[in-house]
Structure 1
């Protein structure tokens, strides 16, 4: 049977990473969301909290963040619609990072007790959620490699490639053009660079003809070149239909 993307962002995300049966889809459609909107830098859930829910992103971009003792921020992951950034919180007594909107976002809150009941009654759903969390960990490992071992030029190219592929898989962009209203300060915190270095690196990517920017719009005009510059391979995203070209 052909893979038909669902209008439900959670189902679509899970369809991207696994085969879903009609029974799985029916169970996922039964999950009750409490919708809530957040503004940029209005924390959704904070480090040290003991939440009784997890959230799925319906619209917008979210970052997971950590602060050093000196108050310096590191963004450790970006999350796009369909992602459940804090799903692991269902099995932890306290959260060890903060989840903050990078744009205006809408999320769907899902109670932990309801999720546990569904996972207990439907092992295939528990497996889907487990797979989603494992892939989040794979993305995190790639980010560690990106920040720790690639130069600034490759880091920037890599993160742009990743965002474009992830947004495209959710049907939110076409081709290689994306609205990414992420500030240079946020890119700096994600890539371990200064804002001056971020600005210079973006200029270099533009100067080499790899990207064109207009406001918050990024167009990878030379997609193969950007992929090469970022040492980017989609394997770590574990998407069923991911393509680098």
Structure 2
């Protein structure tokens, strides 16, 4: 794609050293990646040990950095045969969910060794010319995600196909150092978010432990842990909910035609506590 054909855009926020670096250009994924699927692996070749074989569900866990145990494997021999003939995902490549939960993107790490299910997962094999970690953040931008959802909505099955992936567009700075700087900035924020998430999880576990101590266990009337000033206050009383609540009633049914995105908030089961 030539500069004349490309749509040029300048971001509102830019690092000072790149303010004179020219506009970003609109590119297609196929400009930087070979989009493909995997070599088909038949179910009869699935094993209970060997090289992990990932589907969309495992891809989602990888993306969310959640621990999981592989349920399906293929033999080392089959993996070596496939890798020799067709290649396999390597560092800097991406795997993208194309069926079910669409648009989940996992950036392959250097230590990864696995194969994946054809059809369900797309393989973006990097051809060079773009910083891999920069593209990772591009992929999660509204620009790309909206295209994925829009392309899927016109399909009866709701899939993100290889052909759709190839022509998916995104904006990209022409200077590689700017790509690197953006990726470094956002990854630093991700590291901070990750550390904070661990702290929050630790606090939740601490709170859970405290609640188990501050409330009487089932069948008991005195908590195991009590504030000093209440240690002689006697046992807790057992009461029925009706004794302390004036009235229990259901809310009125609101039909979907009367619901709106603005106005007074409608509390439903799914958003209680949110």
Q: Which has the larger radius of gyration?
A: 2
More helix by share: 1
Of structures 1 and 2, the one with the larger relative CO (CA 8 A, separation 6+) is 1
More strand by share: 1
TM above 0.5, yes or no, is no
